[in-house]
């Protein structure tokens, strides 16, 4: 299979003109992304992609990506898909998520995508997916359903507040 | 609150006499636990505790434990609670989990506990929890429901097979 | 096993002096409870029990309680556990739930319990369980994690508003 | 919005030549479907649609479809999507599901769809959705992630065994 591309036209209208830069700035502040070596590959209104190259120190006991690491990048991809649609002066919080591990995370690259299913005023519901690339083969290895909360009046950073 | 202690008497009978050492050996092979600095604090039949001290490189954008890192240690704690009850010559796989983030992961220590709810022959259902300790205060910050699969005839490591 | 009793002392303080009667009145208005024959057996602050006797028209293809019917009564039990703690003039909404079916719903009575894990201002996180009774044997047959939303300023019924 | 149609070409190959009739026969035996008035509208390999007209006795306290009833038809739609791909002589069991309620179930018809995401040998992972139709308007009101187990060697009914 191949990783599904982002929607040709965004399904949703962002409410913050600085949606892309605020997502990139917030991602930069997620220190765990630096620790594991993840990169923000693409961001669109209601859609996000994060890439994580394989490293031997990201694994479970059989040498594959640990389910929690897969969950970490999918949670962030879906979270930033949601954050891209939130109004100025707000921040994003993961309320809960559920992830099914469809196949072992066996490969040299993990691609996590997130997209908004329903952008409510307070709660935003997202879907996330992970694909693992091994040589020429791409395998759908995880799928997530996630609930986010918009923290109105609590900007994501002090700088954003100015 | 305080972190609930393990059950006074184990609720379940392990089927593998080497249950404790196989869990410890498997935990040692989870390279991501070393990366983040997590330690296996306690293991009983059907019960497990993992501890993770705070570090600045484990965080989301507000400087708290990233939800995915919390999920990583709770997934492992619940997974090893389940693995402790599995028969010799088998390994453990996370099929899926669902986690609610109850409070921000704001503190200097994260304590993750896992316990078996239903030890089926193939599927094992577990509960996991996370508590964050800040000074004298302990807060219940996450709760998880998890489904594991027993991989019969697939030992956790080659050494175990001998 | 036996069904765990409600906590000896309630863990939470209700914010509405009419918590018990508003829960009972709301349950009466859930027409599907009458259709399936479910009864509100007990209600405490942050805790609720619903009972559903077996009927041949509540089943899946093997003659056991349908998973969706089990989910229906556990969702209501957990929802009313949450509603009991909500302030006057508000109503309750299920945001999402996740249920594990631990054993077939094979028996003459289903007992669903719900309890509040974390009573937030807007979001309330609950746990629900189902037990099936067959002769002298009680089996834990389902467990649920649920997220509720408090709808502030939207009373559960017009009568309550007066 | 409109309800997404089934895939133009099935993504999966059924392993049982009698896949459609065994699904229809099993649905007939789900007595709760008769109780609530649900109908099997369409079945394809790895895909299923169930329709449920509104009735006043299927509701929660505000007169909308009860979340548990929505879960009941989505669980069955996704379950039969999975069962359609299972080999002869097997039956299907819901291991767990997680449902997000996206909008109130306010309308005169509920349309539930289910599709297979990953058809494993033992575990089958599905997605389910519900749409509520009110006049000319169709609203996506729920989305589900579900894990099924194939019960090998346990036919769905005695008749099938002959």
| ipTM of the modeled complex | 0.95
The minimal CB distance from C145 to the residues B103, B143, B147 is found for B143
Q: Which residue of A has its CA nearest to C124?
A: A95
Torsion, Cα of B37, A73, A154, B55 (10° steps): 10
Give the C-alpha separation, D60 to D77, whole Å.
21
Predicted local distance difference test score (pLDDT) of residue C109: 98
**A146 burial level (CB within 10 Å; 0-12, 13-18, 19+):** buried
Chains touching D (at least 3 CB pairs under 8 A) are A, B, C
H helix and E strand count, chain D: 4, 6
Residue A3 lies inside a defined structural domain of this protein: no
Structure tokens at B133: 């300790």
Residues 6+ apart with CB under 8 A from B126: B78, B79, B81, B82, B114, B115, B116, B117, B144, B145, B146, B147, B148
Q: Is C39 on the interface with A (CB under 8 A)?
A: no
Question: pLDDT (tens digit, 9 = 90+) per residue, B74-111?
Answer: 999 999 999 999 999 999 999 999 999 999 999 999 99
DSSP lists the bridge partners of residue B137 as B134
Q: Which residue, B41, B76, B59, B139, is CA-closest to A61?
A: B76
Predicted local distance difference test score (pLDDT) of residue D13: 95
Share of chain D residues as helix, strand and coil, in percent rounded to the nearest 5: 25, 40, 35
Pairing of strands B39-44, B47-53: antiparallel
Residues on chain B touching D96 (C-beta within 8 angstroms): 96, 145, 147
- Using the predicted structure, report yes or no on whether residue D97 has a pLDDT greater than 90: yes
**Is residue B8 very low, low, confident or very high in pLDDT (cuts 50, 70, 90)?**
confident
CB contact under 8 A, B100 and C145: yes
CB contact under 8 A, A67 and B94: yes
Question: pLDDT (tens digit, 9 = 90+) per residue, C89-147?
Answer: 999 999 999 999 999 999 999 999 999 999 999 999 999 999 999 999 999 999 999 99
Q: Is C101 on the interface with B (CB under 8 A)?
A: no
Give the C-alpha separation, D78 to B20, whole Å.
39
**Is residue C160 very low, low, confident or very high in pLDDT (cuts 50, 70, 90)?**
very low
Question: Residue B67 is part of a domain; what is its CATH number?
Answer: 3.10.129.10
Residues on chain B touching C130 (C-beta within 8 angstroms): none
Residue B126 belongs to domain spanning? 19-161
Residues on chain C touching A96 (C-beta within 8 angstroms): 96, 145, 147
Residue B117 lies inside a defined structural domain of this protein: yes
3-class SS of residue C5: coil
CB contact under 8 A, C32 and D71: no
- B116 and B52 Cβ atoms separated by less than 8 Å: no
Mean pLDDT in residue range B23-50: 98
Q: Is C146 on the interface with A (CB under 8 A)?
A: no
* Percent of chain B scoring above 70 in pLDDT: 97
Chains touching B (at least 3 CB pairs under 8 A) are A, C, D
The minimal CB distance from A118 to the residues D98, D102, D147 is found for D102
- Using the predicted structure, report yes or no on whether residue B13 has a pLDDT greater than 90: yes
Q: Is A26 on the interface with D (CB under 8 A)?
A: no
DSSP tag of B65: B
Residue B1 lies inside a defined structural domain of this protein: no
Q: Is D146 on the interface with C (CB under 8 A)?
A: no
Chains touching C (at least 3 CB pairs under 8 A) are A, B, D
Q: Which residue of D has its CA nearest to A146?
A: D100
Residue C43 lies inside a defined structural domain of this protein: yes
- A125 and A117 Cβ atoms separated by less than 8 Å: yes
Predicted local distance difference test score (pLDDT) of residue D158: 62
Question: pLDDT (tens digit, 9 = 90+) per residue, D48-88?
Answer: 999 999 999 999 999 999 999 999 999 999 999 999 999 99
- Using the predicted structure, report yes or no on whether residue D44 has a pLDDT greater than 90: yes
CB contact under 8 A, B125 and C98: no
Residue D2 lies inside a defined structural domain of this protein: no
Residue A66 lies inside a defined structural domain of this protein: yes
Residue B52 lies inside a defined structural domain of this protein: yes
- Other CB atoms within a 10 A radius of the CB of residue B99 amount to 29
DSSP tag of C72: H
In Å, how far is D99's CA from the nearest CA of chain B? 11
Give the C-alpha separation, A84 to A16, whole Å.
8
DSSP tag of B105: -
- Using the predicted structure, report yes or no on whether residue D159 has a pLDDT greater than 80: no
pLDDT in tens, chain A (162 residues): 889 989 888 889 999 999 999 999 999 999 999 999 999 999 999 999 999 999 999 999 999 999 999 999 999 999 999 999 999 999 999 999 999 999 999 999 999 999 999 999 999 999 999 999 999 999 999 999 999 999 999 999 865 444
Residue A4 lies inside a defined structural domain of this protein: no
Q: Tell me how many domains chain D contains.
A: 1
Give the C-alpha separation, C1 to A119, whole Å.
44
Structure tokens at B69: 């890192």
CB contact under 8 A, C97 and D67: yes
In Å, how far is C71's CA from the nearest CA of chain A? 17
- A54 and A109 Cβ atoms separated by less than 8 Å: yes
Q: Is A158 on the interface with B (CB under 8 A)?
A: no
Residues on chain B touching C1 (C-beta within 8 angstroms): none
- B50 and B118 Cβ atoms separated by less than 8 Å: no
DSSP lists the bridge partners of residue D96 as C100, D147
């Amino acid at each position: 299979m191949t990783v599904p591309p982002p929607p040709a036209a965004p399904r949703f209208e962002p409410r913050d003109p600085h949606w892309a830069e605020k997502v990139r700035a917030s991602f930069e502040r997620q220190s765990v992304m630096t620790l594991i070596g993840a990169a923000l590959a693409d961001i669109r209104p209601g859609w996000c992609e994060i890439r994580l190259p394989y490293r031997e120190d990201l694994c479970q006991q059989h040498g594959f990506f640990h389910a929690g690491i897969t969950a970490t990048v999918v949670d962030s991809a879906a979270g930033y898909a949601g954050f891209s649609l939130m109004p100025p002066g707000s921040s994003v919080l993961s309320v809960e998520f559920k992830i099914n591990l469809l196949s072992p995370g066996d490969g040299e690259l993990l691609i996590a995508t997130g997209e908004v299913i329903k952008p409510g005023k307070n709660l935003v519901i997202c879907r996330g997916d992970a694909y693992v690339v091994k040589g020429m083969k791409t395998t759908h290895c995880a799928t997530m359903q996630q609930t986010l909360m918009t923290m109105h009046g609590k900007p994501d950073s002090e700088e954003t507040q100015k």
